[in-house]
Amino acid sequence: MKHRRLVIGLTLLAVALTAQFVLATATRASKPTTKFTVRIENISSADGQTASDGTKWPFALSPGMYVLNEKNVLFTEGKPAKSNGLEAQAEDGNPAGLISSLETMHHAGALHGVFNTPAGAMGPGPIGPGGAYEFSFDATPKTKLYMALMFGQSNDLFYAPDANGIALFDAKGNALSGDVTNKLLLWDAGTEVNEEVGIGPNQAPRQKMANTGHAENGVVHRAKDVRFYGKNGELFRITLTAENGM
């Protein structure tokens, strides 16, 4: 997994450029839209998590990206990760590749974006205990919300909804608001062999450079063998708020 060393040098630049891109593309679509805001809060213990060797480590979420679509274009469960940037998102917390692959597909710029700057911070970074990301977008009925962000201090674990995405409207077209924490699942990208989360030598921030670690050559699958699978509510909270929503 050493063929993409260029990524390290370019990551910060790419993140900065992507942030500018998002600011520049916050335009409104012509169809009637509802504005939604998503807030992702890391509510995990400030005392950290305890690894099998007693090491304390903080649960963190990486910068991520969202896309409004009628189906999941980011990955397919049971299939190898596409060459669309999912690996960099899952292994290094870098959403720039997923965004550029959407641009290559001519996916409308107002319908996707990154969230990489913690609330109250001056620049991009992960969110540790107490931290939050927030992003807003306009959506029309039938579109669903998909997103991806990395489980920090893992090899290639990420959070994303399943193939159904997160509903933004009910069957009558009414905008929805509420807690959507459990709409995200913990996935294994199948690209890098797992070490114990929080202490593995090939996990950020311990790895020598981005994209290091042993290739897994697997498929995208639910990380059911990781002890944090299904524990969303202990770690983070995601709130969807529609303007004039129910």
Binding residues (CB under 5 A) for Ca ion: these are 156, 188, 194, 216
CB of 223 to Ca ion, least distance (A): 8
197 in Cβ contact with 228 (< 8 Å): yes
CB-side neighbour CA atoms (13 Å) of 179: 7
Place of tokens 């409104």: 28
Closest CB to Ca ion among 41 and 156? 156
Cα(14)–Cα(99) distance, rounded to whole angstroms? 10
Q: Give just the sign of the alpha carbon dihedral 204, 124, 106, 39.
A: positive
CB of 203 to Ca ion, least distance (A): 11
CB of 186 to Ca ion, least distance (A): 11
Task: Of 122, 137, 145, 149, give the one whose Cα is nearest residue 41.
Answer: 149
CB of 1 to Ca ion, least distance (A): 12
Closest CB to Ca ion among 80 and 141? 80
Closest CB to Ca ion among 95 and 213? 213
Closest CB to Ca ion among 5 and 214? 214
